[in-house]
Structure 1
Amino acid sequence: MDKKAARLKRANKSRQIIRSLGVNRLSVHRTPRHIYAQITSSDGSVVLASSSTLESSLKSDIRNTGNIEAAKLIGRSIAERALSTGITIVAFDRSGFKYHGRVKALADAAREAGLVF
């Protein structure tokens, strides 16, 4: 089993648990250059809010898109967008990535901005 397959296996296990909870899901995906976050409905059919380092409105505030500072900005952005649509409680789906570095920075920033998970 290679590294990507192991990550996807971890992601599927956590997504099964989140699906049984029946709450909206904040999923995070990271690449070496960018980080993406989106909130989907409890059944996964509708994207309720999204944010990434590729957005032109956020790109001007970010000097480097693949670091912790960019992840913090995306965390604050996704929390503000979720709160504006009335979403306060989500389940955090780290997509099989380890909870440290940019993933942790995004989660902490989203919590500080008002999301509960």
Structure 2
Amino acid sequence: MARDIQLEKRRKQRVRRAIRERAYGRPRLSVFRSSKQIYAQIIDDESGVTVASASSIEKANREALKSGANIDAAKVVGKLIAERAAAKGVKTVVFDRGSYMYHGRVKALAEGAREGGLEF
């Protein structure tokens, strides 16, 4: 089990390093996926500030969604983060999937963010 955690940590560092090299000053859209919820935040790494955030655990989302751990919830969170980013003046970001594969809920969140108007 310790080896799995080490591999996940290395994969996450590898993805973040590649993102930093290709960001060119754009903020990053970071995704965290737990077994029950999904979270997204837009982070400006130059100033170290979270610009916008959204999650399936927010009260409005909890009431509207059947579960916070499915593709529908991820798509709603993606659209919500795009809406909040547009309100702050952020149009382009770099997608940070962390140690997760671009598949399932992570992919649905990205598609929802694109539908909401974010470019990456």
TM-score interval, normalised by the smaller of the two chains: over 0.9
In structure 1, the partner of 2:36 is 33
Aligned ranges 1:6-45 → 2 under 5 Å:
6-20=7-21, 21=23, 22-43=25-46, 45=48
Distance 1:57 1:90, change over 3 A: same
Q: Distance in 2 between matches of 1:55 and 1:3?
A: 31
Relative to the length of structure 2, the TM-score reads 0.91
Q: Which residues of structure 1 form unaligned runs of 5+?
A: none
Question: Could you say what the CA RMSD is over the residues aligned between the two structures, in angstroms?
Answer: 1.3
In structure 1, the partner of 2:85 is 82
In structure 1, the partner of 2:72 is 69
Relative to the length of structure 1, the TM-score reads 0.93
Distance 1:44 1:69, change over 3 A: farther
Q: What is the number of residues matched between the two proteins?
A: 117
Q: Identify the structure with the greater helix proportion.
A: 2
Q: Distance in 2 between matches of 1:95 and 1:74?
A: 17
Structure 1 contact 7–95 (Cα < 8 Å) conserved: no
Deviations 1:5-55 (A, max 9, x none): 222211111211222323100000101111010000032610000011111
